Structure 1
Amino acid sequence: MSNNEFHQRRLSATPRGVGVMCNFFAQSAENATLKDVEGNEYIDFAAGIAVLNTGHRHPDLVAAVEQQLQQFTHT
């Protein structure tokens, strides 16, 4: 689906009071780069404002999470 198709879908399913900061829909992200559903890349200048001060999918954090998951038990 294109950004426009996702936008139309969002309009039909989301209340008008919900705001959107950008006009594209992210497919993936790594470090400070976002890639949208059409393959365009953007530098994410806003992520550090909230909780992403290490960037998207920082390799050290991914490794730490993977290590913890290896120790996971479900009882």
Structure 2
Amino acid sequence: MNHPYRIGGPGQIVELGESLIAKRKNNVGRVLEQRWVFGGVCPATDQDFLTHIPDKTTATLLPLIIRHVDQGA
């Protein structure tokens, strides 16, 4: 994903989180491929981002935070 802006800023709070996405119909049948996503939102400006990640390690998440969140946040 290519974002032309960074969320947050001086004095603004940015909420970050990750989630595992997988789908099974009525909890029956085979388990499909699971995907991790990571995102953030700045409630003050209503800006956000969401991206697919291969894992939840610090080495994966830290560069995404630096790329998408303003350091003043």
Query: Greater Rg, structure 1 or structure 2?
Result: 1
Q: Same fold (TM over 0.5)?
A: no
> What range is the shorter-chain TM-score in?
under 0.3
Q: Which structure is higher in strand share?
A: 2
- With CA pairs under 8 Å and 6+ residues apart, which has the higher RCO, 1 or 2? 2
